[in-house]
Structure 1
């Protein structure tokens, strides 16, 4: 039986939260806003997915009218610029897992609801080619972002697999919820700005990816 490992976000490949936070604050400054998100504020915001939604919610709470879409677009541009200049590494075990999965004939997916530009920027920065993945999703490919399960449903359909034939790896609570909504088992590779207590039930929690541990929750045939 064919099995698949589905990486659920760019954050499962590299720790990018600090760069994202810096990009938000720079975008706010460029837009003439006095907003400065602290690390603790951002950690709390990350419990819910969606950068554009975070900006809109923050502005509404302060009775401030902003062009949230333009700010978010600029944030993404700054994020990509930072990645092109800043050395970041793939998370521990990621490259080995991809290599071993390939050698074992497993399918690989990158199931995100971010932009293709963000995906390519992260992959370029850590030296992993998009061609390593048999399927990938972006924000433009699904109607409902995470925590809806649409992205995972699409990935499984494209791979012609059932949920029992795949396992998701997620670094954030909404991503894990999306995987579970789509019927997948989910391994938590918890991001540095997340708390495992905020996650739904996981089949495992990994500090460093290990292929044999990831595959344990899959049924043996």
Structure 2
């Protein structure tokens, strides 16, 4: 039986993609590197340091670990500054309604995000009350597609992976959910998250009713 839900943050609860893109773009422009939306899509769901490596590979460039860390910090400073403009109105359509519904029905809920700024984002959204456990980029050492962040959330909820449904908008996130033995709901296009157990184009469509209807044998 399903007892818990684990949510990715960016692209599921709120959309910080534009802020991330702007920060990566500014950093890349200053370095004289090519960076566009196609490269940015490859960064979805992965850690900051892994993102730097993707950008370096795209530009057939290499840097020392120290230099990469400096650039990652610079990008993060740009991104964090932009979060000050985020408010409780910045949930993706349907996300807050689903979180409220899960609270009403008594499900356990965890965050499973690669972001090291997740706590700041939740604070800006005024979303902390919806989560029993916060798993973020500081919680585990291996990021998606490794399942560690979801396994961390399930353990802290005192649940088995098979008792949890993961909501993800990234290919690497669905891969992580599958690797950990979780049920998965993909948010986004088929070519990105079509390998999830269930897929919706947007969070607005991903109501608890629809999820229960699909996984009907897993709800009492």
* TM exceeding 0.5: yes
- 2:48 maps to which of 48, 51, 74: 51
d(CA) in 1 for partners of 2:53, 2:195:
29
Once the two structures are overlaid, the 10-residue window that deviates more, 195-204 or 8-17, is: 195-204
Is 1:82 equivalent to 2:105 in the alignment? no
Local SS of the residue matching 2:153: helix
Is 1:187 equivalent to 2:185 in the alignment? yes
Local SS of the residue matching 1:10: coil
Is 1:205 equivalent to 2:183 in the alignment? no
Local SS of the residue matching 1:180: helix
**Residue of structure 1 equivalent to 2:172:** 174
Q: 1:47 to 1:13 in 2, by over 3 A?
A: closer
d(CA) in 1 for partners of 2:108, 2:97:
15
TM alignment of 1:85-104, pairs within 5 A: 85=85, 89-104=90-105
User: How many residues align structurally?
Assistant: 211
Contact 2:174/2:184 (8 A) holds in 1 = yes
d(CA) in 1 for partners of 2:69, 2:48:
10
TM alignment of 1:135-146, pairs within 5 A: 135-146=133-144
Residue 48 of structure 1 and its aligned partner are, at CA, apart by 6.8
**What stretches of structure 2 of length at least 5 have no aligned partner?**
none
Contact 1:84/1:125 (8 A) holds in 2 = yes
d(CA) in 2 for partners of 1:211, 1:184:
17
Contact 1:2/1:107 (8 A) holds in 2 = no
Residue 141 of structure 1 and its aligned partner are, at CA, apart by 1.8
d(CA) in 1 for partners of 2:120, 2:35:
23
Residue 8 of structure 1 and its aligned partner are, at CA, apart by 2.1
**What stretches of structure 1 of length at least 5 have no aligned partner?**
none
RMSD of Structure 2 on Structure 1 (CA) = 2.2
Contact 2:35/2:55 (8 A) holds in 1 = no
Residue 181 of structure 1 and its aligned partner are, at CA, apart by 0.9
d(CA) in 1 for partners of 2:170, 2:133:
21
Local SS of the residue matching 1:110: strand
Contact 1:10/1:122 (8 A) holds in 2 = no
TM-score (norm 2): 0.85
Residue 38 of structure 1 and its aligned partner are, at CA, apart by 1.2
Contact 1:5/1:109 (8 A) holds in 2 = yes
d(CA) in 1 for partners of 2:158, 2:45:
29
